[in-house]
């Protein structure tokens, strides 16, 4: 099992999907060893606690990116982490950081990349942009993370239809439920299995 850290910034429903997958026995190659939040007080931390997963807050706003990443690197090394999942993690990591973790960081993004992705496209904004464009199909993507925001190799994608007249908030929920929560555990299992085979 590959020691895995899950990085979060918000409600943590994607973290919950990983926990549920672990509990159901489907996630066999990744050990959810640590949750790291970039801000205090978020509900994802409660989810980690309830699941018995160690968690830590590294306050990005207080530290700034450089010191945040230095502290993150220290914590990941201390816990022997080999794989990182960005699950609703809203900081962009520097090239210095991502270069140290080639094919060892995965991210879930709430659109079909290369649509509605890159800097500025996060959370609800992605769905607002998709509705503004009038797309009939959207979805979610899990990909490896490199120095280009949402630019790394795609692992899994899932399409979701866009019902007429749906609001951005309702579309966000629909994409999470029908795509993100399904493909994130699947992609983590794929990425972790690959590392197991390499070792
Ligand atoms: C999710 O929809 C995730 O795809 C998105 O933020 C939400 C977090 O929800 N991430 C991004 O937009 C990253 N570019 P969660 O905290 O409930 O998992």
User: 18-67 pLDDT, tens per residue?
Assistant: 999 999 999 999 999 999 999 999 999 999 999 999 999 999 999 999 99
Average pLDDT over residues 141-154: 96
> Does the beta carbon of 72 sit less than 6 angstroms from any atom of ligand 1?
no
Question: SS3 for 116?
Answer: coil
pLDDT on residue 128? 98
Average pLDDT over residues 124-134: 98
Residues 6+ apart with CB under 8 A from 16: 47, 181
Which pLDDT band, with edges at 50, 70 and 90, does 74 fall under?
Answer: very high
Token pair of 169, please? Answer: 């908030």
> Does the beta carbon of 37 sit less than 6 angstroms from any atom of ligand 1?
no
Token pair of 174, please? Answer: 């629909």
Tell me: pLDDT of 118 over 90.
Answer: yes
Residues 6+ apart with CB under 8 A from 126: 109, 110, 111, 116, 117, 172
Residue 125, domain extent: 2-198
pLDDT on residue 199? 78
Helix 13-24 with 43-50: angle, nearest 10 deg? 10
- The answer to whether residue 109 is catalytic is yes
Tally the domains of the chain.
1
Q: Residue 109 C-alpha to ligand 1 middle, in angstroms? A: 7
CA distance 159 to 111: 8
Q: What is the CATH number of the domain that holds 176?
A: 3.40.50.170
């Amino acid at each position: 099992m590959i020691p895995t850290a899950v990085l979060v910034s918000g409600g943590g429903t994607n973290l919950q999907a990983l926990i549920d997958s672990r509990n159901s026995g489907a996630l066999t190659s990744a050990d959810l060893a640590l949750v790291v939040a970039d801000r205090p007080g978020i509900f994802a931390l409660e989810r980690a606690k309830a699941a018995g997963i160690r968690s830590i807050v590294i306050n990005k706003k207080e530290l700034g990116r450089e010191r945040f990443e230095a502290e993150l690197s220290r914590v990941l090394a201390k816990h022997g982490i080999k794989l990182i999942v960005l699950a609703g993690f809203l900081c962009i990591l520097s090239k210095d950081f991502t270069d140290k973790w080639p094919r060892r960081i995965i991210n879930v993004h709430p659109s079909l990349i290369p649509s509605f992705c890159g800097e500025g496209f996060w959370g609800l904004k992605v769905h607002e942009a998709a509705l503004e464009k009038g797309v009939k199909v959207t979805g979610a993507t899990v990909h490896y993370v490199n120095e280009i925001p949402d630019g790394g190799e795609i692992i899994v994608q899932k399409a979701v239809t866009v019902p007429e007249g749906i609001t951005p908030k309702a579309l966000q929920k629909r994409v999470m439920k029908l795509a993100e929560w399904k493909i994130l555990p699947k992609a983590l299992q794929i990425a972790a299995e690959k590392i197991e085979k390499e070792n």
